[in-house]
Structures are given as structure tokens and as C-alpha cells.
Chain A
Amino acid sequence: MPGKLKVKIVAGRHLPVMDRASDLTDAFVEVKFGNTTFKTDVYPKSLNPQWNSEWFKFEVDDEELQDEPLQITVLDHDTYSANDAIGKVYIDIDPLLYSEAATVISGWFPIYDTIHGIRGEINVVVKVDLFNDLNRFRQSSCGVKFFCTTSIPKCYRAVVIHGFVEELVVNEDPEYQWIDRIRTPRASNEARQRLISLMSGELQRKIGLKVLEMRGNAVVGYLQCFDLEGESGLVVRAIGTACTLDKLSNTSAFLPACNSPSKEMKEIPFNEDPNPNTYSSGPSTPLKNQTYSFSPSKSYSRQSSSSDTDLSLTPKTGMGSGSAGKEGGPFKTLLRQQTQSALEQREFPFFTLTTFPPGFLLHVGGVVSARSVKLLDRIHNPAFVGIMGNTRSYKLLDWNSFNSDEPETRDAWWAEIRQEIKSHAKALGCHAVVGYSESTSICEEVCILSASGTAAVLNPRFLQDGTMEGCLEQRIEEASPPGCGFCHIPYDELNMPFPAHLTYCYNCRKQKVPDVLFTTIDLPVEAIVVGKGCLIQARLCRLKKKAQAEANATSISNLLPFMEYEVHTQLMNKLKLRGMNALFGLRIQITVGENMLMGLASATGVYLAALPTPGGIQIAGKTPNDGTYEQHISHMQKKINDTIAKNKELYEINPPELPEEIIGSPIPEPRQRSRLLRSQSESSDEVTELDLSHGKKDAFVLEIDDTDAMEDVHSLLTDVPPPSGFYSCNTEIMPGINNWTPEIQMFTAVRVSRLSNINPTNQTLNKNFNDLCENLLKSLYFKLRSMVPCCLCHVNFTVALPEDELVQIAVTAVAITYDKNQALQANKAPTEKSQQRASTDNEEQLQFPLELSSDPLSSQPFSPAKEALEGASSHTGIPAAQRDRCNSWIELIKLKAQTIRRGSIKTTTSLEKASPLAEGYLRHRSVPSGTNSTVSVVKMTPLSFLPGAKITKYLGIINMFFIRETTSLREEGGVSGFLHAFIAEVFAMVRAHVAALGGNAVVSYIMKQCVFMENPNKNQAQCLINVSGDAVIFVRESELEVLPAPPPAAAAQPAGSAGDVTT
């Protein structure tokens, strides 16, 4: 019984009218956790009830604490009939389970009903008393921290990066249970929400256990997804990277941190096995039974899954042959062996991180990806996985077989894909895969599983006992220039896995680099880039015959290679057209629909100084001797050349001219190659490697001998560059811009369009799809025009095909303004940085007198109102004069706000006394500049950082799943009105949870799923949204510096309070 959960229901406000007669509501609250339920008294006849309940106490296992959500239901008491539900709040108490995060959850939560949306708010206080449980066989994993952020969180230091963790849980989807026919949509939605909440809790706990087994204490780059497989069930799966993190006790200084985790590691006896190639086959569950024992240079023992069918694919050349580089040969060899040894003992040497500590990433091979088409109705029958069988079996309510068989099958599917990825990485001479992610696309019973990542060679130091200092030394020894090292090829020049064109690095001129580089990771900080980057998308539609089961899966499998090929060609061409030579953050999404497949690849193109200047694009016609045709060709050619020139100017790509002789590399032939290794596999069928290079001919001679090719060329030229003042990228940071101002605007845009063609062809569909994406981008630029100059960062497109001819595109991104005056300089000189900082400071100082407010309750202890105001003044763009005019009555509003709040403070401050938060608040109030706003501002961003701010504390993961349904679609403003309101509600609920945790921002926010279904004839619609992110407290850098003596103490306070519990 190692935990006590305490809940207090304080008050409600703005409740809906439930009693038409009196226009009032008799509200009470049910608080449920696990199987225990408490109730408050009925607060009669009020829309703003003050329950001020006692503390409801739940004594529970920590396992339960991790799995179960706290469920708060607000009801209207009715003497004569059943009580009517007003709505619910689900609170994930996980953030309270690790000592460093939040200590109390307290605040106003929107009361949510799946049919009516938000109906008023409720003020709740939640606390957890945890007792230490030293039980070795425990099933809980309290204390393991989770981060969505795909880099080492800002106020932590990575001691060890252990590696890949994954898990999946399967259950039946309540929506498809027989009972769903007789229960109300509300009950069904709530059952689903609750189930998914439970499943994600369970999943997180299981992953946590794996992390503890690996002796880690955190999961970074945690990505949890749902597969709504309809009849066949509901899969919740997650991947992440296990790490041992150390809290930086002072966020501004690197103090020697306590290394207890790594010490523990060392205590484990080495398993001295002289033969490095001893494979002992272990159980198929990865990671669980491995021994984590290895030393940097010694041999190792390896246990791995028995399914190493791919070992034959291991490159035949010895890894450490040293032929890859003339420099530092023997050392490198050693290094490689170490890395290899460190990684190979892992079943999957994958990392979901996209940004790494300096020195972690040694070389990058290229993108590796694998896809597989599966039939969902086979899951029941593992023996017939794939499309071989002919029988179809629909699942009945067979819970046992369900629970026992399915995860196995799913595990096997993913294991298969991961094996493939691993073997691809090996073929590229890499031991590891970074920037790894997995996704699915489901249409009826067909499911495409995809995985992709970037093959890489890593520095072993981080993977083991992780003394950072040692690693830094090593980097110096190695003498690989930091700006280009990662571009150097990891594979053997003489035995290349694919035809490629190598030159000596344009930066160090010592090692070989490829001509283009595709990766799924973010641009490494140390990379030397010329000019700016830009968002590059390849878009593609392929028609497919409607078919059932096996036939369907086969035809999809057959189409996939062509799609990949075409997506790749498009990316290549578009990259060339922009005069760039590398892609970062590449994400290729293939979506399956009833009668078509869609491919959408997004990446950020950059010009890496280390890589050669890309050649142009040549057009060649196949029918010479035709005057007009020739003329047409030359016209097109000219257009292309013009575009390239224009783009070079736009993105400021002026690489320093290098005389050819200096490079002096033997340039065999002007052939351009890329590396994108991937495969399709259809069930267990063997993969045929597809050579993505264009046969014998030069890849960048486009032959336009048929209309198809003409279309391709045209579509190349239709991509409109963003309007002036705008840049866009899908990575965390925009290469070439580094002077961000603190103003950010995160948004989600969703569009559903009908591809209304009677006889659609691939070309018309392509064009439609292309237009749809371009228009969407245009629309975003227009919407955000007031923020210019700005950059859309982390632009994330997701495509779905909900029905025949319907395409749904959802985009989430953040617009960040930057300072134009300093935008020209791409150099990241520290002096300049400080200069920029100074300038932002000034700006903020200017705004200071206008400063409005921070809510004392709102736990924005140190970055009060400035925030609100900045947002305000910047978004508004109101001329200053007008602002002044407003001021006097803004004062009034503030006053009003204060009075409004005072009422609620009375009830809560006393409760909060114990928490550092409340202290922060009190302290803050004593500061005279402290002002008030009604609702605390919570920033949201898909990035892992906030420009101009320092994250001082991570409060825990936010992972929320909502269903909204309506049976009065027209009345709610049609599909757009319905979805608009729902997305706004989701944002509001995320913000409320973050604020209740004491945070003022969500970083690494992602909308993982947005499933929208409508039935206009029935006036109905339903939507499911799943979002996640990390709740944080941030402090404006300017505030840290500008404020004099006392505030720094206050500022250090959250860090300190968090730091003292570091284990």
C-alpha cells in the first residue's frame, strides 16, 4: 500500500443550467480512483457552487497510481429522476509520482463532456503521499521520468544514454463491443477515453520497468501512439530512449553532478567472455533479460533475440578496416569496435532522439526505412500472419485469446520491421539508428507499418559509463572537425552499400563525404551551414483498385516501391531546385485509403558547407529533330535555371568558391546519388532491395518524353516560395536564423477536401493534392502575416484518408518571430549571441511599464505578466497610441480580475502552503511589480525550447486523449464549427492541466492523432484527438538577468527545490 492519493474539490464556476425551471443547477461531484468513489455534498441552486470538500483519501498501490487516471464527475442532483452528468475531468496523476516534478495539482479544470464539450470549470487540489517501496519484484516504475522532448531536456545532463525501449498494449475497442449497441454515445465515448487513459498508464509503467531494468531513470523522446484498428481492437504502443539523467543543480552552471547511477553500473560484474561473437539466443521479449554489463574496450557478451535472420546482411567488410578514413585509422577502428560492442548487445540500437549532446554523433550514414503491409483480421492467428492464408476470422468477445495472442503478434510485426531497419543500418556501416520513429496507417483491415530513422555511428562513451569529460577529451584526440565530422561517410568507400558519388569533405578536405545527405534528425548544432534552410515537401497520390483483404494488401505492397521511388525523386529534384545538398527531419508518410495511396514527405533542406555544391537540373527530350519541342525544352530549362538562381538568392546560399584543384578528389563521373535505403515487405516475404539511383543515367537529367514527366517538371515549378518575411522548416531550429524574439504562436490547422474527379488519374490527383498542401501553406502565411518577419518551425503535416475521395490534412507548427536586423548573420559567434540577448532585453524593458499581470495562483512565479503582455502586444500589433488609450480601462479590467480571483484564492492558498509553488507565489506577490491576470498564460510549442527563455523545471508528461461527438452538427456550425470548437477545447484542457501542475508552457507538443468522422445525413460527427507534450516552468532569460538582487534568489528557487530531491 505504498501511496495515498488525496483529492479536494473546492468549487465550480459557470456550470450549465441543468434545471430549466429555476435556471440553476444542484451540483455535486463524484471523485473516483480505481474502484473507490467519494461524493461531495450537493450544493443547491447555484451555477458557481462552493463545495470546499474534505480531503478524499485513496490508499492505493503505486502500480494503480501509475495506471489509473483520477476521474472527477460533476453531476446535477435530481430528486425524482436519475442524476444528470454535467461532465468529467480526467487527471493524470503521474507527474506527482516522481519527486522532481510537480508536488501538487491545483487549479481550474474545464469540465468536459464528450457530447457538449466544455461545460464550466471545477477547482480541484490533488496530492500524493508516496511511501518508498524497495520491493525488487515490484510492478510499478514510479520515479522514472518521461519526456516527449527528443533531445536531452534542457536542465538535465545525460550520464548514460541506454537505448531503445518499446512496449505495446492491446485491448478491445469499446466502440466495437456488443454493448455499444445499447449504451449511449456518451457512455461509449467515456468508456473509450477511460480505457485509453488506463492503457497509456499501463504502457508507461511497463516502459518504466524496462528503464529501471536498464538502470536508467528516464525516458527521453517518448512517443506513444494509438492504432484504432476497428473490429480488431485498440493498440497503444510507445517507443522511447532510456537514459540516466542528472539534474543540473544550477541551471546556469555545470556543477559536478552526483553520478550514482553510473557508479551502480560499474558495480555490476563484467561478464568476461573472450569470444565477442558468442550469440546466445534469449527470449523474444527484447531488453528484459539482457545483462547490462560491458566495459568500453573489452569484449562483451551478447544476448539477443533469436530472430537474427538478418545477420547475413551485416556488411561483409570488417567494420574497423580503416579504409574509410586515412586519418586516425587505428584509433577509429578501436572506437568503432567499442561502439559496436556497446550497441550490438542491444537488440535494437535505436534512439528516438533527434538532437544529441555534442560529440555523441560521429557519422551519419543516411535514412533507413522499412514498411510492411499487414492484414488486421489475421492478428488472431499468428500462424497466418500476413496475407498467405485465405480464411478470414472475425474476433468475438474472446478476451483471453485476445489478450494473450495479440500483443505477441504486434510485437512480432514490429520486431520484424526493426530487424530490417537494423540490417539496413548495418549495410550503411552504422551500428545505430538515430531519429527513429514508427507509424501506422490503417484503412479498414489493411495496415501499413512504417519505421524510419537515420543510420549513424555514435560515440560509445555516452552509451556506457558516460563520463562526459572523457568524451570531450576523446573528441579532441580524434581531431575530427566538429562542423563536418558527422557528414563523413561511415561506410567503406570501396564497398559501398549503394552507388554513390564521394568527394573529399569541403570543410576539412580530409575525409570523404557524399554529395547529398538525407537524415531524420535535427540539424546538429555544430554543423556548418550556408544560408538558410527551407521546408521541402514531396507529395504524391497513387490510385489503387478497391479490393478486399489479400488482394488489397498485395496491390498496396506492389505500389509502395514506386511511391517511395517517386517521393525520393521529387525530394531530390526539389532539393536541387533550391540549390541545397542536405535534408534534415525527413519524414515520409504513406497513407492508405479505400482507393488510393498518398505519400507526403516533409524535410528541411539546407546547404551543408561540408558537402559539394549540387549540380543543376538538366532537361532532355527524347524526340529530337522537332523544332518546337526543342524550343519548349529550352524554355523549361531556362525556367528551371532561373528558379535555382532565385532560390539561391532567397535562401542566401553563397558558398565560398573553392577551386577544383584544392579539392583534388578523383571525381569519377558526374553522377549524383542519394542514400535512402528502404524496403517493402509484405508479411514475411523477403525484401527486394530497390535501387533508388536512376539506373545508368544521370539522376538529374529529367527526361520529358511523356506527359507524366512533363507534369513532374511542372509540379516542380509550382511550389511557390513563402512570401517575403516568412521562412519555414520542419526541424526544431531554422538553419541560418538564430536571433529569435520571444513571441511565438503555436497553431493547428485542419482541412478536409474532396477530390472530386469523376475519372481521377494519378496526375489530376497529384495536382489536387499538391494544390491542397500549397493552399494550406499559403493560408497559414496569410493568417500569420502580422508576425512577419517570422519562421514557421516544426511544420508537421499529417495526411489521412477518412473516406473515398476525402483527404484530411492536419498541420501543427509554431510561428516564431525573429529580429530582422540581425537576421543576416548566420554565424553563431558568442559575442553576437549576447548582443542579441541584450537587444531582446531592451525590448522587454520597454514593455515593462505596460506589464499586466500574472496570476498568483497560476504558478508563473517568475515570469509574470510580461509574458501575457508580450503575447498581447505582439499579436495585436495595436499601435502604441491606441494601446495607451486602452490602458486606463485595462487597469480596470485588471482590478476586476483581482477581485474575481480573490474569492478563489481564499480557498486555495491555505492548501498550497506546503508546496514550493505557493511559496513562490507569496514571494512573487511581495514584489511590487507583480500584477495580475485572470487566467495564467500557458505557452504551447512543438519545439523543445522557448526562444528567449530558460526552462527551469520539467513537471511531467502531458498525454491526453479526447473524444467529441455531436448529433447536432448543423447547429454547432457544421463540420468546421464542430472541429474548431473541439481543437480549441483540447488546447484549453492542455493549458489547464499544465497550469494546475504549476507550469507555464508545454514544450514538444504534438497532436499525434486527429481522427474525424462525419455523417452529414444524420447530422452527426465524431472526432478523436490525442496530444502530448512536456509541461514545464520557464523563466525569461531577460528576467533572470535584468532583475536585481532578490529575484535571482527567487529564480533559483524552483531549480533548487527540484534539485534537492535528485537521487
Chain B
Amino acid sequence: MSSDLDVFVGNTTLIDEEVYRLWLDGHSVAEAVARRLRGGVLEREGTSVAVLQSDTRDHYRTFQMLERLLHAPPRLLQQLLFQIPPERQALLVQRYYAFDEALARELLGKKLSKGTKKELDEVSARTGVGIRSCRRQFDNFKRVFKAVEELRGPLAENIQQLFLLPPALARDYAAIVFFANSRFETGKRRLQFLSFGDFAACAQSMMAHWSQGALAPEAAEPDGDLPKSFLQDLKELKVLVSDKDLLDQHKSLVCSALRGKISVYNELEANFKALSRALVNVGGKLTHARDVRDFFVDLVEKVIEPCRSDKWSPGDLRLFLTHYTAAPRNLPGFRHQALWERYMAAISACLLRMYHD
């Protein structure tokens, strides 16, 4: 005796978190049933496989109907079709937009295009995230990207408004959008030691310190793009390395401040000019889209790796960056202190975050 039709509809929509998880992970009904069986529901509830199948199918149908609404979470709040308590709505949204960091790491800085979507098979194999789940997460990234691409104001807040995500998750999405927009290279071998969290933190500090919104909330440009004028101004900072006097004075200021305070003083003294040149030039290159891509590569190659080979401790780096940033204040003839500090705030934050094994 087979059941052709089998539905259960509650006035309050039943949401089973376990089944939702399985659905989000991209399992088919049969796989989901198998997993639930392994979870021992049968023994706990004393029910039958048929019941479990029917239950799973019901939930899957509900989720499929809900998916359309999850694409625009504010609609989930307004819709009349499913009566879902606010807490559950929040849970549905949060889980739907939650992503695997391994996957996000793979996609950081890539164009969220059809081409990338086609490569998801490999990504799925590398990260161990199911292909269906990969596609859903990719679509989420793309949907969020499209929605906020043209919007003004702080990226994370826009995302939070439009997708009703918890603040932390919204900030992560902001980072993803920021990377997709600026197309930073993150896939190089020497960048492999950096996690999604590292990049997200970097993106957040960059947006926090550099974006238009950071200075004027009513900014004309979207947060995802770094303001052109700011990037243009960064060229002015080159004076710090191109002017021999300034460079020497800068070095002596930093060295005198740090003498005896850090363990790698000699190395610092030897490498100061190279480091300073690297730190200033990274900023100077940001006006060219092609060079922007190399931002993280440069930081790693020219700052992090030399320091690491000289066995700087994170504390050393922190101390150095503090004094390196502060010193130009006392440089005669250097008129870009505000710009410099704005620039270095993000760079320091990035470096400190990235400085690990």
C-alpha cells in the first residue's frame, strides 16, 4: 500500500532544525532519512521508517516553498502564507545565509559570475562541502552582492537591513562583497596560510578606515569601492620613501623609540628602509585595478615574510607599527599626517591580523 499523497500542514509552520540543516547541506530526501536514521530517531521515538520519510518529505516541501521567501528575508516577515514565530523566522534566515568558511575562502576575490559557479565542482571537492550546498551558498553571495552593489552607506548595515542577518554575519557578507568588488588576489600559494577570518577582518578594517562612509556617513559612493580621491592622495605619501632625508629621519625616530624595546632591533635597523618602502608603495599602487589585486600578495611578500624570516614576534611587529605610524608626526615638512594615520590604521590592522603561521 503506497501513499501517493501525504501532507501535513500546521497553522504554525513546523520547522525541524535537524531536517533544515540536512536540507541546507543539500541532501536528498533519501539521504536525509538515512542520516536521521543514523541519528537514532527511530529508537528514541519508537516510530517507523515510513513515518520518518513522510516527515522528511513534508519538511523538504515546506523548505522549498520557503526558499523563495528566504531570497528576500523582509518578505518572509510580511508574507501571509506561513505563520512562523519571529524567532523561527530569524533562525531560518540565519541558517540559510550561514556559509562554510572554507568555501567562502575559496571564493574570496573571485568574480561572482557564471564561470565561477561552474568551477564549484572543484571547490566542492576541495572543501568537502556538498555541491548543492556550494551552489546555494554561491547564490547567496551573489544575491547579496547584487543587492548592495549600488547602495550607498555602510555595506554591513545595508546587508543587515536587506537580509535581516545577525550583525556578525552581515559583516562577513560585507567582507565577501568587498573582496568580490575589489577582486583582491587571495588564491596564491603564499597566501594559503590566511583564513577567511583573516581576510574578513582585513576587509573590515579597510572599510572602516578607508571607505567614504568612515569619514562622511552620507557618502556618495558605495562602501564596497574605496574612494578614488583617497587612493589618489595616497600617492602623496611616497614622499616618505622617495625623500632621502625624510626616510632617514623617520628611521632614526622609530629606531630611537624602539631601541631596547624589541628583540629584533638589529634586524629592524637593517631592514627599515625596505620595510618602509614596501609599506608605502602598497598604498601608492592602489589606484591601478591591476595592482590592487596584489595588495595582499605584496603585504605578505614584502612585509610579513621578511619579518617572519627574521623571527619577529607579533609583539615586535605591533610595537614597530605603532611607532612607525606615529613617528612622521615629528618629521619636519611632512604635511600628510592625517592621511598617513588613516592609511596606516588599516594597514597595521591587516598586518597584525595576518602575521601568523
Contacts and interface: CB of A to CB of B under 8 A. Distances in A.
Pick from B4, B51, B164 the residue with the most CB of A within 10 Å.
Answer: B4
A935 B79 contact: yes
A938 B74 CA distance: 20
A64 interface: no
A754 B85 contact: no
Contact of A754 (B2, B7, B80): B2
A940 B11 contact: yes
Interface string A716-735: 00000001000000000000
Interface in B54-71: 54-55, 57-58, 61-62, 64-65
A90 interface: no
B87 A980 contact: no
Contacts of B51: 775, 778-779, 782
A977 interface: yes
Contacts of A121: 78, 80
A890 B84 CA distance: 13
B126 to A, nearest CB: 31
B1 interface: yes
A900 B45 contact: no
A764 to B, nearest CB: 10
B46 interface: yes
B87 A935 contact: no
Pick from B5, B64, B167 the residue with the most CB of A within 10 Å.
Answer: B5
Nearest to B86: A852
Contacts of B161: 896
Pick from B50, B74, B80, B85 the residue with the most CB of A within 10 Å.
Answer: B80
A935 B90 contact: no
Interface stretch (A303-311, A741-749, A1052-1060): A741-749
Contact of A752 (B4, B46, B87): B4
Contacts of A747: 8-11
A889 B81 contact: no
Interface string B160-185: 11001111000000000000000000
A889 B5 contact: no
A110 B51 CA distance: 33
B1 A772 contact: yes
B35 interface: no
Contacts of A753: 1-4
A938 B77 contact: no
B281 to A, nearest CB: 41
Contact of B78 (A754, A889, A934): A934
Pick from A771, A872, A888, A940 the residue with the most CB of B within 10 Å.
Answer: A872
Nearest to A904: B78
Interface string A463-486: 000000000000000000000000
A782 B46 CA distance: 9
A302 B141 CA distance: 80
B45 A980 contact: no
Contacts of B13: 984
Interface string B234-273: 0000000000000000000000000000000000000000
B86 A890 contact: yes
A104 B337 CA distance: 66
B298 to A, nearest CB: 37
B85 A889 contact: no
Given A878-B91, A900-B74, A973-B64, A983 B1 contact: no
Contacts of A118: 80-81
A780 B51 CA distance: 9
B89 interface: yes
B80 A892 contact: no
A746 B14 CA distance: 11
A987 interface: yes
A875 B57 contact: no
Nearest to B47: A782
Contacts of B58: 783, 980
B271 to A, nearest CB: 45
A768 B89 contact: no
B82 interface: yes
Contacts of B167: 888-889, 892
Given A745-B12, A875-B88, A888-B166, A976 B6 contact: yes
B15 A785 contact: no
A979 B77 CA distance: 23
A108 interface: yes
Given A752-B3, A775-B51, A806-B4, A872 B74 contact: no
Interface in A744-794: 745-756, 768, 771-772, 775, 778-783, 785
A975 interface: yes
A1012 interface: yes
Nearest to B85: A872
Contacts of B54: 779
B78 A13 contact: yes
B61 A973 contact: yes
A78 B264 CA distance: 77
B75 interface: yes
A911 to B, nearest CB: 20
A872 B5 contact: no
B116 interface: no
A88 to B, nearest CB: 16
Nearest to B164: A893
Contact of A876 (B2, B10, B15, B78): B15
A939 B11 contact: yes
Contact of A976 (B46, B47, B57, B81): B57
Contacts of A749: 7-9
A987 B80 CA distance: 9
Given A14-B78, A893-B164, A775 B86 contact: no
B10 A745 contact: yes
B205 interface: no
B48 interface: yes
B164 A889 contact: yes
Given A889-B165, A893-B77, A935-B83, A746 B10 contact: yes
Contacts of A889: 90, 94, 160, 164-167
A755 B2 CA distance: 8
Interface in A304-344: none
A253 to B, nearest CB: 33
A945 to B, nearest CB: 16
Interface in A953-1002: 973, 975-977, 979-981, 983-985, 987-988, 991-992
B5 A975 contact: yes
Contacts of A783: 8, 14, 55, 58
B3 A875 contact: no
Contacts of B83: 935, 937-938, 987-988, 991
A363 B13 CA distance: 43
Nearest to B93: A893
Contacts of B89: 893
A751 B80 contact: no
Contacts of B5: 750-752, 808, 975-976, 979, 1012
A878 B78 contact: no
Nearest to A853: B86
A614 interface: no
A778 B166 contact: no
Contacts of A785: 45
A868 interface: yes
B81 A110 contact: yes
A871 B85 contact: yes
Contacts of B52: 782
Contacts of B90: 886, 889-890, 893
14 contacts: A121-B78, A753-B4, A754-B4, A755-B1, A775-B51, A876-B15, A889-B90, A896-B164, A935-B80, A935-B83, A976-B61, A980-B7, A980-B58, A988-B82
Interface of B: 1-15, 45-48, 50-52, 54-55, 57-58, 61-62, 64-65, 74-75, 77-83, 85-91, 94, 160-161, 164-167
The 3 A-B residue pairs whose C-beta atoms are closest, nearest first, are A872-B85, A752-B5, A889-B166
Given A876-B88, A980-B7, 10 more contacts: A753-B3, A754-B2, A772-B1, A782-B47, A782-B52, A783-B58, A875-B14, A876-B85, A886-B87, A935-B78
